[in-house]
Amino acid sequence: MIERDEHLKQAFAALRREDAAGSPSFQATVAAARARRAGVPRRRALGLAAGVVVAVIAVVVASTWRTQKSERLEIDLATVRWQGPTDFLLKLPGIELLRSVPQLGLRGLDRRIL
Amino acid sequence: MSPADLPAELEQLHAAAFGWALSCCGWDRSAAEDVLQASYLKLLDGRARFEGRSSLRTFVFGVIARTAREVRRRAALRRWIPLASLLLGPEAVDGRPDPATAAVGADETARLVRALGRLSARQRQVLHLVFYEDLTIAEAAVIAGVSLGTARTHYERGKAALKRLLEEESE
């Protein structure tokens, strides 16, 4: 097991040597980092501009949608009467008789009660 | 350590830091350079401040690991929101070994890089810190941001998997 760990250590040491040989210098890395920092404000400004454009588009779309919605509400719903396709089933023959009160002799009825 | 001493200290750690950045970026050289530059900026600007709670090496490696994670997250965000590239800058890390890097170099190291690329990120990190950077498992746990027990588990399982993968590669 220890021998196998030694083998791993040697392999990693070889990798480390290879990486070190190909690594950029410290000065070059720091210089590139500073150059990168100099480019950040421009990128932020671009990002901010893009954000503003998106916000303006969103406001325009929202206001247009609202206007269209309010125009649709101008329809007077009280005047609209919807008729269902099965309404005719509610019309029974002789329904007028069921909805009206029969006329009885009211005078005679009053005397009997009184 | 005064802030004026920091560049000289970082220069001494530079080779090891580059190796660690390579490991964090799956041996993608350009991504590792980006991560290292961003990490140095944080350290030199004072956004990441060394307070002496660990060794400077452990601290710097922790900053590099965090920066690599941030870059990976940004890359993922960029894939979902195309407009985010304006705010986040150019894409850097894909988290997998650079095939060109893996192909170049000695056969044995190329095999090692390929095998490491097939391990989980945590296993790769812990093995790298222990074998490549000669750190203890406890130090590796601090840098990777996991408990000592978890780091030990990653170390043992990662070592077994790496040996198996290297044997498969050599067959």
Q: Which of B97, B120, B142 is the last residue of a domain?
A: B97
Count how many domains chain B has: 2
Q: Which of B97, B128, B143 is the last residue of a domain?
A: B97
CB B138 within 8 A of CB B68: no
Is residue B76 domain-shared with residue B122, that is, in the same domain? no
Q: B41, B114, B133: best mutation site toward chain A, by most A Cβ within 10 Å?
A: B41
Range of the domain at B2: 1-97
Give residue A5's pLDDT band: very low, low, confident or very high (50, 70, 90). Answer: confident
Residues B70 and B113 in one domain: no
Q: Looking at the predicted structure, is the pLDDT value of residue B154 above 90? A: yes
For residues B146 and B79, state if they share a domain: no
Q: Are residues B117 and B58 in the same domain?
A: no
Whether the predicted pLDDT of B145 surpasses 80: yes
The residue type at A23: S
Q: Are residues B68 and B139 in the same domain?
A: no
**B23 shares a domain with B56:** yes
| Residue A25, helix vs strand vs coil | coil
Terminal-to-terminal C-alpha distance of chain A: 120
Q: How many Å apart are CA B171 and CA A83, to the nearest integer?
A: 82
pLDDT tens digits, B25-81: 888 888 889 999 999 988 888 888 888 788 888 899 999 999 998 888 887 777 777
B positions 97-126 inside 8 Å of A (CB): 105-106, 108-109, 112-113
In this prediction, residue B100 carries a pLDDT of 53
* Chain A interface residues (partner B, CB cutoff 8 A): 4-5, 8-9, 11-12, 14-16, 18-20, 22-26, 29-30, 32-34, 36-37, 40, 43-44, 46-47, 50, 54
- Taking Cα atoms as reference points, which of A113, A95, A93, A92 lies closest to residue A104? A113
Distance CA A58, CA B129 (A): 49
Distance from CA of B47 to the nearest CA of A (A): 13
What pLDDT score was predicted for residue B87?
57
**Is B116 in the same domain as B168?**
yes
Distance between CA B70 and CA B97 in Å, rounded? 18
Task: Give how far Cα A11 sits from Cα of A6, A54, A104, B154, Å.
Answer: 9, 53, 116, 19
Out of A16, A24, A36, the one facing B132 most closely (by C-beta) is: A16
Q: For residues B130 and B156, state if they share a domain.
A: yes
Same domain as B20, residue B54: yes
Sequence-ordered list of residues with C-beta below 8 angstroms from that of B109, at least 6 positions apart, any chain: A11, A14, A15, A18
CATH number at residue B159: 1.10.10.10
Q: How many CB atoms lie within 10 A of CB B12?
A: 13
Do residues B71 and B135 share a domain? no
Contact B22 A8 (CB under 8 A): no
**Burial grade of B56 (CB within 10 A; 0-12, 13-18, 19 or more):** middle
Residues B56 and B9 in one domain: yes
pLDDT tops 70 at residue B125: yes
Whether residue A83 has pLDDT greater than 80: yes
Chosen domain end from B47, B74, B97: B97
pLDDT score for A107 = 59
Q: Write out the DSSP string of chain B.
A: --GGGHHHHHHHHHHHHHHHHHHHTTT-HHHHHHHHHHHHHHHHHTSS---SSS-HHHHHHHHHHHHHHHHHHHHHHHHH-TTHHHHH-S----SS--HHHHHSS-HHHHHHHHHHHTS-HHHHHHHIIIIIS---HHHHHHHHT--HHHHHHHHHHHHHHHHHHHHHHH-
CB atoms within 10 A of CB A39: 10
* Cα–Cα distance, B113 to A4 (Å, whole number): 17
Answer yes or no: is pLDDT of A34 > 80: yes
Q: Does B55 touch chain A (CB under 8 A)?
A: no
pLDDT at A80 over 60: yes
First-last CA distance in chain B? 51
The answer to whether the beta carbons of residues B55 and B164 sit under 8 Å apart is no
